[in-house]
Amino acid sequence: MSDQFSGFADNDSPSASGAAAGPPKVVLNVGCGFVGQRLHPSFQSNEWRELRLDIDPAVNPDIVCSMIDMKPLAGGSIDAIWSSHNLEHLHRHEVPVALAEFLRVLRPGGTLLLTMPDLQKIAELVAADELEDEAYLSPSGPISPLDMIFGHSASLAQGNLHMAHKTGFTARTLNQLLAAAGFAEIAVTRDGFALWARANKRNSRA
């Protein structure tokens, strides 16, 4: 799957001398999984320090908590948030709560980068009666529209109920949710079966 925002951090990067003089910026990896998994390439340089957050203590995150209640994190303490395939694991009414928490912990001018399934694209396969057919091959094995809508079936069968999907998004609904949460400079892109979104917390002077 192509990287829609591989260079998004460049506009907010310090100069080479500034990067050497100051401490690394902090990126919060929400739903981090095991060490080394799923950190976006934009944050894989010495400019960034990863802070890992997950609800599952088995993956040994830095912080064990839910994205809808991130009390261990102070407001305005995070430079960027990377969230890969997390919001769909919440109930619909919990999504604005999670976005409010993301906004709270970001510093003014901080960036949120999200990716998740694109229900509008997946629905095309459902309409074609391909609900359980392979849509693409992932490291976890074949992925069907059923997996993308309701959660990875094989993982659920093994008892990993954190993998269940409880809501979904289209490009329009995701944009609306981010705007309602108070984010600015929102960009939503469709790429294959995924949605990508980038949004910023307003600067306090704005």
**For the residues of the chain, what is the DSSP string, one character each?**
---TTTTGGGGGPPPHHHHHHSPPEEEEEET--STTSS--GGG-STTEEEEEEES-GGG--SEE--TT--TTSPTT-EEEEEEES-GGGS-GGGHHHHHHHHHHHEEEEEEEEEEEE-HHHHHHHHHTT-TTS--EEETTEEE-HHHHHHB-HHHHHTT-GGGB------HHHHHHHHHHHT-EEEEEEEETTEEEEEEEPPPTT-
Determine how many CB atoms are found less than 10 A away from the CB of residue 159.
Answer: 8
Confidence tier at 204 by pLDDT (50, 70, 90): confident
Q: What is the mean pLDDT of the chain?
A: 89
* CA–CA gap between residue 175 and residue 181 (Å, rounded): 10
Percent of the chain with pLDDT strictly greater than 90: 76
Residue 18 pLDDT greater than 70, yes or no: no
Of the candidates 104, 52, 60, 107, the residue with the CA atom closest to the CA atom of residue 80 = 107
CB-based contact 24:35 (threshold 8 Å): no
pLDDT, tens digit, for every residue of 60-94? Answer: 999 999 999 999 999 999 999 999 999 999 999 99
Determine how many CB atoms are found less than 10 A away from the CB of residue 80.
Answer: 23
Confidence tier at 147 by pLDDT (50, 70, 90): very high
Of the candidates 205, 201, 203, 206, the residue with the CA atom closest to the CA atom of residue 104 = 201
Domains of the chain: 8-117+166-200 (3.40.50.150)
Percent of the chain with pLDDT strictly greater than 70: 88
What predicted TM-score, i.e. pTM, was given to this entire model?
Answer: 0.87
* CA–CA gap between residue 191 and residue 174 (Å, rounded): 14
